[in-house]
Amino acid sequence: MPTRRSRRRPRSIDRDTSHGGLPVVAVVGRPNVGKSTLFNRIVGERHAIVEDRARTTRDRLYGVAEWNDRRYVVIDTGGIEIDPGDAIEERVQDQARLAIEEADVIVFVVDAAIGQTPADQEVAETLRRAEAPVIMAINKADNEKLELQGHEFLQLGWNDWNAVSALHGRGTGDLLDAIVEALPEESFDELERTRREAEAEDLAESIEEGIIPELPQDEGLEEDAEPTGEAWFDEEAPVPRVAIVGRPNVGKSSLLNQLLGEERSIVSDIPGTTRDAIDTTLEWQGRELRLVDTAGLRRRGKVASGPAAERYSALRALKAIGRADVCVLVLDAQDGLAAQDAHVAGYVVDEGVGLVVAINKWDLVEKDDKTFEEYVARIRQQAPFLHFAPVVAISALTGQRAGRVLDEALTIAAERRRRVPTARLNKVLSDAVSRHQPPPVKGRRPRFYYATQAAIEPPTFVLFAADAKSVHFSYERFLENRIRDAFDFEGTPLRLFFRERSKVKLEPKKRRSKPKAKGKPTKKSKRKGS
C-alpha cells in the first residue's frame, strides 16, 4: 500500500472542461460500485448525482481536485457493462471508453461487499489495453472484515490497490496519495499556472491588509506593447490542429480538398460519407498546420439509434474537437444556422477551442451589399455565445475565400497562446469595476482585489474577490467583454474563475501582564503613597 503522506482534505476548485494542461484521472468500473460517491469524495463536494440504483451516471462528468499540492481533473463515468442492452447504454459505454483514452491515470473501482463478478473481469479486460496506469480502488470496505474480503480482487492482476470507503472516507487519503504518485510530471503550463496563482494570492493578501504593492511586470511582456495575434506567434509552439466540423453534407470534405488542392477526402452528396477523422499536414503562409476532416455530427438521438459505425464516427469527431486548437464550423448558406449547428458550436466553446464560422455555398445565395452583414447579425442573434468568432463567407467548390479560413485559424491559434501583462489586466479590471459596480446579492456586493492570467489554451483568468460566489453570470459576461475590448482575443473562448478572498480581520496583539511580585508595591500604590 502506498506510503501515507500529508493528510489534508482534498479541496474542490473551479471546474474547467478544457483541463488547462492539468493531468486527467478517470474513475471507471461496472455499474453501482460507488464511482460517483468516490468522485464526490475526491473533488470535495456533492457534484455527481448518487443513487442506490445502477446506471444513474451517463455522460462524462468533470471535476477538478487538489491533493498534496497537485491539481488534476477527475472524470466520473457511467458503468461499463458486458451487454449494454439499448442504444442509450451503448452511448454510456462509449463515453466511458473516451474517458479511458483521455486519462493519465485510471482508478478502477470494485465492490468489496459483493465481491468479484464477471462484469469486473470484463472491465479489467478493457483496462489491460489502456495506456494509462491503473489503480484499483476496492470500495465499500467499511471495516477490516470487508477489507480482507477485498483481497480476492487481486486475481484481476493489479498489485497497486487501495481498500476504501468512499461513503465514509475510510482509506481515501492513501488512494489520493497513490493517484498523485502515478500522475505524470508537472507540465510547463501547470507550473506556470501554479506560480501565477500563488503570486496573485500573496498580492491579494497584501491588499486586504491595506498594503498596495506595485504590480509586477511579466517577463517578456512590454507594458505599453499592443499584443496582436501575429506578434505572439511562437515559432517553437506545437503545430496548430485545425478541425473542420459541422453537420453532414455541408461541404467539410470539399473544403479540405480545396485547401489541399487534391482529392484527399471522398466527397459525395450522401450524408455520412466521411467516417474517420483524417489528419493532413499543410504549409500555409510559411506556417505548418494540421487539418482534420471529421464526420458530420447529427442529432444525438439519430446517432444513438443509427448503425454502430456512425456512432463511432461521431465519437471520433468529438474527440478530434477536444484535441484541436481551432475548429472551423462549416454552415450551409442556404440552410442558415440550424439547431444542430448551434449544438456543435456549443460543444466547441465548452471545450475551450478556438472557432471560426465558415458559411459555405455562398455562391448559391442571391445577395446585395448588405446580405453578409445581415447574415452575420442573424447568427449572432440566434447564438449569442458565438459573438467572439469571426465569420467568413466561402465557396468550397470554387475556392472563393477558402484561404481566409486558414488565415483566421492561424491568428486564433496564436491568440489562444497569448498572455497579457498583469498590470494592464488589473487596470482593465479596476476601470471596469469603477465604471459598473457588481450588483449586490442578498445585500452583499463582491469586492475585487486582484486578477491574473493563470493559463493559456484557452486564456484563463483568475479573479480574487470577497464574496466571489455572489458574482452574477451577467457581470461575469460584462468583465469578459471588457477584457476582450482591451486585448481582443479574437476567435477564442475565455475562462473566468472567481476565487474567494474573505476579509482578514487583524487583531492587535495583547500584551501579557507580568505577575505581581509578593510584598512589592506596584507603581499605582507608590503613587498613592507619595
pLDDT in tens, 277-335: 456 778 888 888 888 877 656 554 444 444 444 455 566 667 778 888 999 999 999 88
* Mean pLDDT score across all residues of the chain: 75
Highest mean pLDDT among 160-169, 176-185, 207-216, 219-228: 176-185
Segment 135-143 shows an average pLDDT of 89
Give a yes or no: residue 527 inside a domain: no
CA distance 351 to 326: 11
Highest mean pLDDT among 107-111, 146-150, 460-464: 107-111
Same domain flag for 337 and 306? yes
Same domain flag for 139 and 64? yes
Same domain flag for 409 and 456? no
CA distance 62 to 48: 9
Q: What is the pLDDT of residue 38?
A: 92
214, pLDDT greater than 60: no
Same domain flag for 37 and 113? yes
At 211, is the pLDDT very low, low, confident or very high (cuts 50, 70, 90)?
low
CATH at 83? 3.40.50.300
Please name the residue ranges forming H helices in 212-266.
Answer: 252-260
Give a yes or no: residue 373 inside a domain: yes
93, pLDDT greater than 80: no
Q: What is the pLDDT of residue 487?
A: 92
Which residue has better confidence, 342 or 60? 342
Using the structure block, give the residue that is written with the C-alpha cell 448551434. 342
Amino acid code (one letter) for 220: G
Give a yes or no: residue 505 inside a domain: no
Same domain flag for 196 and 149? no
At 269, is the pLDDT very low, low, confident or very high (cuts 50, 70, 90)?
very low
Give a yes or no: residue 335 inside a domain: yes
114, pLDDT greater than 50: yes
Residue-range definition of the domain harbouring residue 66? 11-182
At 196, is the pLDDT very low, low, confident or very high (cuts 50, 70, 90)?
low
Q: What is the pLDDT of residue 239?
A: 82
At 109, is the pLDDT very low, low, confident or very high (cuts 50, 70, 90)?
very high
CATH at 454? 3.30.300.20
At 505, is the pLDDT very low, low, confident or very high (cuts 50, 70, 90)?
very low
Instruction: Please choose, from the candidates 397, 416, 99, the residue with its C-alpha nearest in 3D space to the C-alpha of residue 253.
Output: 397
β-strands 287-293, 241-245 pairing:
parallel
Q: At what angle do helices 252-260 and 402-416 cross, to 10 degrees?
A: 90
Among the candidates 416, 437, 457, a domain finishes at 416
Q: What is the pLDDT of residue 305?
A: 42
Same domain flag for 193 and 308? no
Number of domains in the chain: 3
Q: What is the pLDDT of residue 226?
A: 43
Compute the half-sphere exposure of residue 477: CA atoms within 13 Å on the CB side of its CA.
Answer: 8
241, pLDDT greater than 70: yes
Q: What is the pLDDT of residue 200?
A: 65
Q: Report the number of secondary-structure helices (H) and strands (E) in the chain.
A: 15, 16
Q: What is the pLDDT of residue 332?
A: 92
Q: What is the pLDDT of residue 18?
A: 44
480, pLDDT greater than 80: yes
Contact 166, 37 (CB under 8 A): yes
Same domain flag for 425 and 410? no
At 101, is the pLDDT very low, low, confident or very high (cuts 50, 70, 90)?
confident
CA distance 198 to 191: 11
CA distance 487 to 427: 12
Instruction: Please choose, from the candidates 239, 194, 166, the residue with its C-alpha nearest in 3D space to the C-alpha of residue 413.
Output: 239
CA distance 501 to 467: 7
Among the candidates 385, 416, 447, a domain finishes at 416
Q: What is the pLDDT of residues 37-69, one digit of tens each?
A: 999 889 876 544 444 444 444 456 778 888 887
Angle 146-152-155 from CA coordinates, rounded to 5°:
155
Same domain flag for 203 and 339? no
Amino acid code (one letter) for 397: L
Give a yes or no: residue 437 inside a domain: yes
Neighbouring CB atoms inside 10 A of 503's CB total 8
b/e code 291-311 from CB counts within 10 Å (16+ = b)? bbbbbbbbeeeebbeeeeebb
Which residue has better confidence, 257 or 93? 257
| DSSP conformation class of 117 | -
Q: What is the pLDDT of residue 179?
A: 93
379, pLDDT greater than 80: yes
Q: What is the pLDDT of residue 412?
A: 94
Give a yes or no: residue 516 inside a domain: no
Give a yes or no: residue 262 inside a domain: yes
Contact 479, 468 (CB under 8 A): no
Q: What is the pLDDT of residue 519?
A: 53
Q: What is the pLDDT of residues 161-189, one digit of tens each?
A: 889 998 888 888 999 999 999 998 877 66
Give a yes or no: residue 234 inside a domain: no
Please name the residue ranges forming H helices in 14-135.
Answer: 35-43, 87-102, 118-128
C-alpha 399, offset from chain centre:
35
Q: What is the pLDDT of residue 102?
A: 82
| DSSP conformation class of 152 | G
Same domain flag for 248 and 291? yes
Same domain flag for 216 and 272? no
Q: What is the pLDDT of residue 395?
A: 93
CA distance 296 to 288: 25
Considering only 5-14, 113-122, 166-175, which range has the smallest mean pLDDT? 5-14
Same domain flag for 309 and 265? yes
Among the candidates 416, 439, 473, a domain finishes at 416
Q: What is the pLDDT of residue 278?
A: 54
Amino acid code (one letter) for 429: L
Q: What is the pLDDT of residues 17-45, one digit of tens each?
A: 345 568 899 999 988 899 989 998 898 76
Contacting residues for 452 by C-beta, under 8 A, at least 6 apart:
196, 197, 199, 200, 422, 425, 461, 462
Ramachandran class of 491: left when φ > 0, alpha when ψ lies in -120 to 50, beta otherwise = left
Same domain flag for 25 and 128? yes
CA distance 65 to 177: 13
Contacting residues for 111 by C-beta, under 8 A, at least 6 apart:
32, 33, 34, 139, 140
At 220, is the pLDDT very low, low, confident or very high (cuts 50, 70, 90)?
very low
In 361-507, the DSSP E strands lie at 391-393, 447-455, 460-466, 495-500
523, pLDDT greater than 70: no
Q: What is the pLDDT of residues 423-463, one digit of tens each?
A: 899 999 999 999 999 988 777 788 888 888 888 888 989 88
